[in-house]
């Protein structure tokens, strides 16, 4: 496999960032505001839990399924390109349904469609890394990809703030901008091709294996999965309930929520970008992955404890900045670590799809259990974020048994 140039890395980064933008703009701001506009602040947390949880469950199934379908695609257009375009179109339709929804059931249907198809896009976008990038460059490229999440968060919250007052534009603006860069990358990609003669036979057993990797035979992959699951669980609590945290705990006015989420995301992202680029590069040079993932998870957990104890927006911003440092190193190095411990390089998209369940499932579980945690904590979002911090710290410990990488 040949080394990739900076032209490829730039286009790949923009497309991956755009994919993150499609998910994050609704999750961080607009989905919560849409639900709140339909049912009011008292019923909003439970309704949001239903919508976000159901969408995340579909994402959990859709990501590995479409990853497997991508691995089996013997199209003249390549293995990944057809699913990128299909995922983008279907997901954007789902977002449009959410934006126009007159009731929670319609919001639920639209968000499930969006999650299902956007995960087809995500599964194939992630598979480009093992398809195109040699091992010696993966830490660096994964580090560059690690900046996509924070920049997409900033761009998403900025676009929402820019279109504030027009809910339809708040939903569709990020879709339109993201679609441009995704389609540009899909059009220029020298996609991997699968000969029809090499296409594996379809069977019920093969279909079932789409959602499963034997933990006994792939212990390193399983521990990496557990670590990612717990880390993303911490993030899911923060991202899903950030708007309600600001409203209830810090007393932010409803009109000020988009602005404060944008500022918090901006502060976090500035730290995240620097940490991600540096972390990936140092990891490649030292040949070490585990120590970076361990330290990053602990730092992120500490950041959530700071946010949990915050009594002012300024302290909240400090917590977000600390979190950005941890999140940046984690996203840079963890993806490179996972690619190094994949069970089968010939089914990279499928195995990465299974691994991406660790990134989707928390967004179903966190909204499902958050109401119970809030009830136990007497409505305290500080208690909720302390639980999130503990998840990140335990996730740090889960990476220790991985043995195939240093």
CATH number at residue 119: 1.20.1250.20
Reported as half-sphere exposure (CB side, CA atoms, 13 A), residue 341 has a value of 26
Is residue 196 domain-resident?
no
The label of the residue with tokens 């991406």 reads 356
15-74 pLDDT, tens digit per residue, is 999 998 898 888 777 888 888 888 887 788 788 888 888 887 887 778 778 877 887 787
230 part of a folded domain: yes
In a domain, 405, yes or no: no
Q: 118 falls in which pLDDT band (50, 70, 90)?
A: very high
Instruction: Give the model's pLDDT for residue 52.
Output: 83
Where do we find the tokens 């006015």? 253
How big, in percent rounded to 5, are the helix, strand and coil portions of the chain?
80, 0, 20
Burial readout 89-112 (b: 16 or more C-beta within 10 A, e: otherwise) = ebbbebbbbbbebeebeebbbbbb
What is the domain extent for residue 64?
6-190+205-398
Interatomic CA distance for residues 51 and 109, integer angstroms: 8
Residue 143 lies in a domain: yes
Radius of gyration of the chain (CA): 20
Q: How many domains does the chain have?
A: 1
Instruction: State yes or no: pLDDT of 341 exceeds 60.
Output: yes
């Amino acid at each position: 496999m040949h080394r990739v140039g900076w032209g490829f890395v730039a286009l790949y980064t923009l497309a991956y960032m755009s994919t993150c933008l499609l998910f994050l703009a609704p999750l961080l701001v607009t989905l919560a505001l849409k639900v709140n506009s339909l049912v009011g602040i008292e019923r909003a947390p439970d309704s949001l839990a239903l919508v976000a949880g159901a969408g995340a469950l579909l994402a959990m199934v859709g990501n590995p399924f479409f990853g497997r379908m991508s691995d089996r695609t013997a199209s003249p257009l390549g293995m990944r390109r057809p699913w990128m375009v299909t995922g983008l179109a279907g997901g954007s339709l789902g977002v449009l349904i959410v934006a126009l929804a007159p009731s929670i059931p319609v919001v639920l249907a639209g968000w499930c469609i969006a999650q299902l198809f956007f995960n087809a896009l995500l599964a194939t976008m992630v598979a480009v890394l093992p398809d195109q990038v040699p091992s010696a460059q993966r830490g660096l490229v994964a580090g560059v990809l690690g900046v996509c999440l924070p920049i997409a968060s900033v761009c998403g919250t900025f676009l929402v703030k820019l279109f504030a007052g027009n809910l339809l534009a708040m939903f569709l603006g990020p879709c339109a901008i993201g679609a441009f860069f995704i389609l540009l990358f899909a059009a220029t990609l020298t996609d991997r091709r699968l000969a029809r003669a090499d296409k594996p036979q379809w069977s019920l057993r093969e279909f079932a294996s789409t959602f499963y990797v034997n933990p006994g035979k792939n212990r390193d992959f399983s521990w990496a999965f557990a670590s990612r699951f717990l880390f993303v669980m911490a993030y899911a609590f923060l991202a899903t309930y950030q708007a309600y945290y600001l409203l209830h705990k810090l007393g932010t006015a409803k009109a000020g929520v988009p602005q404060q989420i944008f500022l918090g995301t901006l502060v976090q992202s500035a730290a995240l970008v620097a940490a991600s680029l540096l972390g990936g590069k140092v990891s490649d040079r030292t040949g070490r992955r585990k120590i970076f993932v361990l330290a990053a998870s602990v730092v992120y957990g500490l950041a959530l404890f700071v946010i949990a104890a915050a009594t002012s927006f300024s302290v909240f911003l400090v917590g977000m900045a600390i979190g950005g440092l941890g999140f940046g190193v984690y996203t840079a190095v963890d993806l490179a670590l996972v690619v190094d411990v994949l069970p089968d390089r010939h089914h990279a998209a499928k195995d990465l799809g299974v691994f991406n369940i660790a990134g989707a499932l928390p967004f179903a579980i966190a909204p499902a259990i958050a109401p119970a945690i809030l009830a136990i904590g007497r409505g305290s979002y500080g208690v909720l974020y302390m639980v999130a911090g503990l998840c990140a710290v335990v996730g740090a410990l889960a990476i220790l048994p991985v043995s195939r990488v240093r």
